[in-house]
Amino acid sequence: MQKQATLVLIKPDGLKKSLTGNIMSKLAESKLVIIGARVARPDRKLVEIHYQHLKDKPFFSGLVDYLQGKLHGEPYDRVLAFVYYGENAIEKVRKIVGATNPEEAEPTTIRGSYGRIMTSGLFENVVHASSDPADAEREIKLWFKPDELVVDLYPAKPCAHNNQPALDWA
Q: Which does 109 bind (CB under 5 to 8 A by kind): Mg ion, ligand IDP, none?
A: none
Between CA 76 and CA 79 the distance in angstroms is 8
**Residue 32 vs 90, nearer CB to ligand IDP:** 90
- Cβ 170 to ligand IDP shortest distance, Å: 26
> Given the rule CB under 6 A, which residues bind ligand IDP?
51, 54, 59, 63, 100, 121-123, 125, 128, 131
Q: What long-range pairs does 117-124 form, CB within 8 A, spacing at least 24?
A: 118/71, 120/59, 120/62, 121/59, 122/59, 122/62, 122/63, 122/66, 124/11, 124/13, 124/66
The DSSP code sequence of 69-81 is: TTTT-TT-S-EEE
Q: Which does 59 bind (CB under 5 to 8 A by kind): ligand IDP, Mg ion, none?
A: ligand IDP
CA terminus-to-terminus distance, the chain: 25
128 tagged catalytic: yes
**Residue 59 vs 169, nearer CB to ligand IDP:** 59
Q: 100 to 139, contacts with Mg ion by CB under 5 A?
A: 131
**Residue 32 vs 124, nearer CB to ligand IDP:** 124
User: Which residues of the shown chain bind Mg ion in the complex (CB under 5 A)?
Assistant: 131
